[in-house]
Copies of this chain bind each other. A is one copy, B any other.
């Protein structure tokens, strides 16, 4: 029966229009392909690509007549000049509403995150003024709400406090924070300018999910300090040492009022969020609830003077405009190397969060977000920020969602928010004197659930177990070791996986799908028919290189001998394999070790009276096989398709 199948293929091959051109001619096509671009050429190409993208911009600008040149140049840098022109009152109404909403969420969060970053509260507010304004001028997204975020604040404090303890030398610590912000900004801008956007992609999606989840829990644990009103708390972030210091604090006299106050308002915030979810009209309720609870709790404390009876309060917040902090950026610091490293890590994390948020909303509204341009604007935002007493700011996930649901139209909502925060800095800081820290803790806590995405983790588990491992690795790395280690683990696992897949010595045997002359993996397509006397083998990985060449060779030889043994048991027709066809259609590259192993394979096949044929080689591969005379060594048996390779069986 198989025999007939086989002859069928041949007929079908004859029947094909394929024979308008002779087979010999076609295998000449394969052999005489033009030389592929060299490595050097590729490298140059990518560089040229980067440069040309700027040239295009320049030429576009030069294209404009006289005065327009400047304008269009500015437009390319400040998109606001573009969308600002057709800005309408109706748009402004929406932006105003959205701006006020996020401002009310932003003020308490900023104060909270500042404490998380081990800075005085006002620095959180500063960071919500300048960066949003800069981003509004330069940014390309329409929804992102800029400001301090939880994860970055945690990263900063957890890494920098190893260099200087903020409790001992707050000024020195602050200097380091601003210097780190400077570095982060430089790195972000550089990534964008040199079009290195892809570097951010090195944090795999799975890794980010795990990392965010772990970070959220860590941040929550940090809030126990405020919630319990614990005075001496650990500087470490891992769950064990935090839990220990909480446990020890039980022996010290602690004040339940903090806890009661915090919890009650935490429940209030969750309740408002529940209402907001139930009734879309009330979206503003969860947004303003933090501010409301701050006001209420402050009022309560003020009236009852509860601070006298051990309720921890914010006390003095320095009001007024952002002071300059140029003199605080210390590039001769002994820690400069460490700060640069921290800056890089923070820059990467901040970019990842912001770009991810921006992209998701952009694709929702159906416009494209230029990753590189985003990075440049975020970078400049942080560089200017660090001169005006701001620490690293980026696109906040929670506030961006609120901004979107509040119906923002443009980045004007960020401007509104910045102005509101500025005003409150001018006038309202005194009112925040009696705000209990427990409330700030509960506000931060209420923002965390958004960072933990169990559904996504489950989806990852479903799709790819190794990705899930990276996710879990990041999660537990953050939880039990440290934030940066968590990141390291995640990146490590992701890359190990890449190497594992791309150099795994996987081979698969192909069969012909009945009624077609398509050859597919016999396991994937159980209906695929084997061609008697022919072994069709494909290397799974895209490289045949030093690390897998030998094992591939051994696998192939083993498989053939096994097949022949089987064949002898089942039937004696065609159990002896005469022709081994290596389908190299998905080999992108082969190196010297790979070619050497192919030669050894050929030798050992010949010694057992078999022939080796290559089917459908890719550009680089055929080029190298020719360069090393491997083609001539196998008698030029290189074919365009597997079908034609099978036909050559007739020659022996």
Instruction: Give residues in A with beta carbon < 8 Å to B.
Output: 8, 12, 15-21, 26, 29, 33-34, 36, 38-40, 197-198, 201-207, 359, 363, 366, 368, 371, 459-460, 462-467, 494-495, 498-499, 501-503, 505-506, 513-518, 520-521, 523-527, 540-543, 545-551, 557, 585-586, 588-589, 591-593, 595-596, 600, 603-604, 607, 616, 618-619, 624, 627-628, 640-641
Contact = CB atoms under 8 A, between A and B. Distances in A.
Nearest to A595: B463
Contact of A521 (B204, B465, B619): B619
A591 B205 contact: yes
Contacts of A541: 502, 542, 588
Given A202-B547, A546-B494, A36 B513 contact: no
Max chain B C-beta neighbours (<10 A), residue from A16, A34, A202, A526:
A16
A366 B18 CA distance: 40
11 contacts: A15-B16, A15-B17, A198-B548, A201-B548, A201-B593, A202-B546, A204-B593, A205-B546, A462-B627, A520-B616, A542-B542
A214 to B, nearest CB: 18
Max chain B C-beta neighbours (<10 A), residue from A359, A526, A603, A619:
A619
Given A206-B591, A593-B204, A543 B21 contact: no
A449 to B, nearest CB: 21
Contacts of A627: 462-463
Given A368-B604, A542-B586, 8 more contacts: A17-B515, A20-B515, A204-B591, A460-B592, A521-B619, A523-B619, A524-B619, A585-B585
Contacts of A551: 197-198, 201
B205 A36 contact: no
Nearest to A36: B524
A521 B16 contact: no
A209 to B, nearest CB: 9
Contact of A545 (B19, B204, B359, B640): B204
Contacts of A546: 201-207, 494
Contacts of A464: 39, 589, 591-592, 624
A29 B525 CA distance: 7
Contacts of A198: 505, 547-548, 550-551
Given A502-B542, A542-B586, A543-B501, A205 B513 contact: no
Given A198-B550, A502-B543, A29 B527 contact: yes
Contact of A21 (B514, B550, B588, B603): B514
Top 6 A-B pairs ranked by shortest CB distance?
A586-B586, A502-B502, A542-B542, A204-B546, A20-B515, A205-B593
A8 to B, nearest CB: 7
Contacts of A603: 363, 366
B518 A641 contact: yes
A120 B201 CA distance: 56
A623 to B, nearest CB: 9
B502 A467 contact: no
Contacts of A495: 499
A466 B591 CA distance: 9
A197 B517 CA distance: 38
A580 B179 CA distance: 48
A17 B12 contact: yes
Contacts of A460: 592
A583 to B, nearest CB: 10
A516 B26 CA distance: 10
A17 to B, nearest CB: 5
Contacts of A16: 12, 15-16, 516-517
Contact of A513 (B39, B595, B640): B640
Nearest to A364: B603
Contacts of A38: 465
Max chain B C-beta neighbours (<10 A), residue from A499, A591, A593:
A591
Contacts of A523: 34, 36, 619
A20 B516 CA distance: 8
A202 B459 CA distance: 34
Contacts of A526: 34
A502 B498 contact: yes
A624 to B, nearest CB: 5
Contacts of A593: 201, 204-206
Contacts of A604: 363, 366, 368
B513 A465 contact: no
Contact of A585 (B515, B586, B588, B592): B586
A487 B395 CA distance: 44
Contacts of A501: 502, 542-543, 588-589
Contact of A459 (B26, B33, B498, B592): B592
A17 B16 CA distance: 9
Contact of A588 (B202, B499, B540, B596): B540
Contacts of A618: 521, 524
Contacts of A513: 26, 29, 640
Contacts of A586: 542, 585-586, 588
Contacts of A520: 616, 640
Contact of A525 (B33, B40, B514, B557): B33
A517 B19 CA distance: 11
A427 B593 CA distance: 46
Contacts of A616: 520
Contacts of A517: 16-18
B463 A591 contact: yes
A313 to B, nearest CB: 45
Max chain B C-beta neighbours (<10 A), residue from A21, A201, A499:
A201
Contact of A543 (B197, B498, B549, B624): B498
B640 A518 contact: yes
Contacts of A207: 546
A26 B525 CA distance: 10
A464 B627 CA distance: 10
A593 B640 CA distance: 34
Contacts of A459: 592, 628
